[in-house]
Structure 1
């Protein structure tokens, strides 16, 4: 028999993350069901290292996996092909990174992008509304890849203080989401953000340098970093120097 799953009323707080279902359960990392999905509950959840993830027809499901997949920005693996892509992107006046100029478009594009091995999306309409509210409060952000005035890819994330939680990416052009992720890594390095939460292990994230971290260590990180002042959410072309040599040195 699976362990009993706590059912939350809208006014209830989330259980302690350490009580999430373990590795031998039907859904490792599942913490609770129910509750409410709004900006206040999302902030409280992320501050304790918990996130919502559910599909159409399911109740709100809250997760706190152990281990947690994280990308330490100092360990970001810049493959040769992506390095060349970033160098071309930086050199092209028609290419730019924008922050928070089209959050609604980004989260909806993430919602509609097909995923390998997934039937449908977990970014259901209620999720879109909740994260747009969180964005309006300055705690959810989009990093956007623009080419010739068109949004070609991007990602959205949650940020509380210096704690950054990656959510989802999309690309309508080759490498457009990877460019946005590289820009986020540059921003984080520039502002002394140590890691980006990636939630769960995938081979794609591992290929970029992400690794698993014990939940207890991750929660300690979140507790300390979320109490720090928020970083400035904007991107300057000079930030590319965090990953690339300055143009004068690559000529």
Structure 2
């Protein structure tokens, strides 16, 4: 039986997510880490250098306007777990209103190039971050800052980043055990949050100010 987007949502609700060994491997496997990376939404840290980039509004930010292109950008590397099946499934989740992206452009349309972004899945008040990419310095960090700002404004309770990396730790990510994550997940998916309520992304100065107020 073919895997569907609805099955994928059920998997997220159970605390697991899919991966593939490579872009050419047709098979998927389920991942349930013993230790889970999360970013506490009140603990996200914007460094001085990132704050300067945000205040200058170097980039043009959009929401959900180029979801498939963001997924493709995340897969555009020597090694990736995003195979055609995963790309199809997340595209379906986007069309169902559960897959979302933050896009970073080198200027306003028309003619702008997509230089960074992040995508993930919403379920209740949980956001499951899947991947991000950057083709210009700081582009993925800017995408992440706008994403956290949006999750806070929309009333989200859990930001799952799957695995803790040094890069994510520098931004405030922490690691929790499987049991703790299960409790946080159960509470979050019972709650209601809104991805759309914050509206269009505003100036970077506002992102910096709101982060300072909540950190």
Distance 1:140 1:230 in 2: 14
Measured against aligned partners, the alpha-carbon deviations of 1:109-161 in whole angstroms (never above 9, x if no partner) come to 111134xxxxx210011110010001110011011112223222101011111
1:213 matches 2:176: yes
The answer to whether the Cα contact below 8 Å between 2:126 and 2:159 also exists between their aligned partners in 1 is: yes
Residue 98 of structure 2 aligns with which residue? 139
1:100 matches 2:64: yes
> How many residues of Structure 1 are paired with residues of Structure 2 in the alignment?
203
Compute the displacement of 1:225 (Å).
Answer: 1.4
Structure 1 spans left out of the alignment, 5+ residues: 1-9, 11-35, 115-119, 247-251
Q: Which one of 194, 201, 209 corresponds to residue 231 of structure 1?
A: 194
Structure 2 spans left out of the alignment, 5+ residues: none
Using a 3 Å threshold, how does the CA distance of structure 1 residues 156 and 48 change in structure 2: closer, same or farther? same
How much is the aligned-residue C-alpha RMSD, in angstroms?
2.0
Compute the displacement of 1:245 (Å).
Answer: 6.6
Distance 1:170 1:78 in 2: 18
Residue 152 of structure 2 aligns with which residue? 189
Residue 83 of structure 1 aligns with which residue? 51
Compute the displacement of 1:230 (Å).
Answer: 4.0
SS of aligned partner of 2:209 = coil
The answer to whether the Cα contact below 8 Å between 2:102 and 2:147 also exists between their aligned partners in 1 is: yes
Distance 1:48 1:139 in 2: 16
Measured against aligned partners, the alpha-carbon deviations of 1:7-48 in whole angstroms (never above 9, x if no partner) come to xxx4xxxxxxxxxxxxxxxxxxxxxxxxx5320111001111
TM-score (norm 1): 0.75
Distance 2:190 2:69 in 1: 30
Distance 1:141 1:78 in 2: 22
The answer to whether the Cα contact below 8 Å between 1:140 and 1:156 also exists between their aligned partners in 2 is: yes
Q: Name the stretch that deviates more: 51-60 or 120-129.
A: 51-60
Higher-Rg structure is 1
SS of aligned partner of 1:141 = strand
Matches within 5 A, 1:87-166: 87-89=55-57, 95-114=59-78, 120-148=79-107, 149=109, 150=112, 151-166=114-129
Compute the displacement of 1:76 (Å).
Answer: 0.8
Residue 4 of structure 2 aligns with which residue? 38
Compute the displacement of 1:192 (Å).
Answer: 2.6
TM-score (norm 2): 0.87
SS of aligned partner of 2:137 = coil
Q: Which runs of 4+ in 1 moved over 6 A?
A: none
